[in-house]
Amino acid sequence: MKTTGGSDDQKRRAAERAADLVSAGETVGLGTGSTAAFAVRALGRKLESGELDGVRGVATSFASRQLARDSEIPLLDLDEVETIDIAIDGADRVDSDGNLIKGGGAAHAREKVVDAAADRFVVVADPSKVAETLDRAVPLEVLPAARTLVSGRVADLGGDPVLRTAERKDGPVVTDNGNLVLDCDFGAVEDPESLADDLSATPGVVEHGLFVGLADEAYVGTEDGVDVRTY
Ligand SMILES: O=C[C@H](O)[C@H](O)[C@H](O)COP(=O)(O)O
C-alpha cells in the first residue's frame, strides 16, 4: 500500500484509537489508504481475540476489501447494507471545520457513499493532512467519455484539471468503477460547500473528493498521542 504524508506511527496511533470506538455487533465502514489500513488491521486483531463478535465490515474499495479479507473481517456488500454504525476513513486534507479532500487513492466515490451513510464518521489522519483551508487538488471521478467536457467546466470554475496517470502503467488511472480521475487544482478552496455544489451539478462527474459537513470527528495522530477534534 502506498504511504503518504506523516509518519506511520502517527497514522497507526490515530487509527488504532479510532478502532477502539467500534463495539461488538456493529457494521463498520472500512476506509481506503495507508492510514485507514491501520484501523482495518486493528479491527482484525480485535475480532481474532474475540473482542468484537458480530462485527462486519463494508469495504470502500478493492484494496480495502482485500485487506479486510486478509485480516479475516467478515464483509457485507455495499449494496446489501441499510445502515452503517461507524465509518473509519483517511483523508488527504482536513480543514478547521472538518471538511475534507479525499480521493488520493481514487476511492472517494465509494468512500463517500459509505462515510455519508455512517451514523458516525471518524477521520483518521496524521498532522500533515491538517490545514486551515483545503489547499490541495480536488479529485473528480469522471465518466471516460465526458472528461474533455468536464475539464472545460472545471476551467470555467477556476480550476486546472489534470488527468491522473498510473505510476506503473502507460495510461490513466482507472477507478474501481471503471472511470477516470481528474485532479483539479482550485488553489485554496475558500468555500468548499459552493464548489462541492458546482462540481456535483456537472454532468459526467461521478463524484468529487470534497467531503463537506460529513465528518463527525477527526483523530489526528501526533508524536505522543492522538488529538481528537469534534465537528
Ligand atoms: O482514495 C483514497 C482515500 O480517500 C484515502 O483515504 C486518502 O487518500 C488518504 O490516504 P492515506 O491515508 O494513505 O494518506
pLDDT digits (tens, 9 = 90+) for 106-123: 999 999 999 999 999 999
- The best mutation among 2, 32, 62, 67 to test binding of ligand 1, ranked by most ligand atoms within 8 Å of the C-beta, falls on 32
What share of the chain has pLDDT > 70, as a percent?
Answer: 98
Active site residue 207: no
Structure confidence by residue, pLDDT tens digits, 40-58: 999 999 999 999 999 999 9
The answer, yes or no, to whether ipTM is higher than 0.95 is yes
Give the span between the Cα atoms of 154 and 9, in whole angstroms.
Answer: 37
> Span 170-196, mean pLDDT?
97
**Confidence tier at 209 by pLDDT (50, 70, 90):** very high
Determine which one of 16, 72, 82, 111 is catalytic: 111
Going along the chain from its start, the domains and CATH numbers come out as 8-131+212-230 (3.40.50.1360), 138-206 (3.30.70.260)
Residue nearest to atom 12 of ligand 1 (CA): 35
Give the span between the Cα atoms of 163 and 146, in whole angstroms.
Answer: 12
32 CA → ligand 1 middle, Å: 6
Ligand 1 contact, 139 CB (< 6 A): no
Q: Is the pLDDT of residue 75 over 60?
A: yes
Q: What are phi and psi of 230, to 5 degrees?
A: -115, 140
The pLDDT of residue 4 is 64
Q: What are phi and psi of 3, to 5 degrees?
A: -105, 135
The pLDDT of residue 161 is 98
Query: Average model confidence (pLDDT) for the chain?
Result: 97
Give the span between the Cα atoms of 74 and 2, in whole angstroms.
Answer: 24
Structure confidence by residue, pLDDT tens digits, 140-176: 999 999 999 999 999 999 999 999 999 989 999 999 9
In the beta sheet, which residues pair with residue 100? 94, 211
Which of 126, 81, 134 lies closest to 225 in space, CA to CA? 126
Residue nearest to atom 10 of ligand 1 (CA): 33
In ligand 1, the atom with minimum distance to the C-alpha of 5 is 14
Residue nearest to atom 6 of ligand 1 (CA): 90
Ligand 1 contact, 60 CB (< 6 A): no
Largest Cα separation within the chain, whole Å, is: 54
**Confidence tier at 6 by pLDDT (50, 70, 90):** confident
- The best mutation among 1, 10, 92 to test binding of ligand 1, ranked by most ligand atoms within 8 Å of the C-beta, falls on 92
Q: Is the pLDDT of residue 1 over 90?
A: no
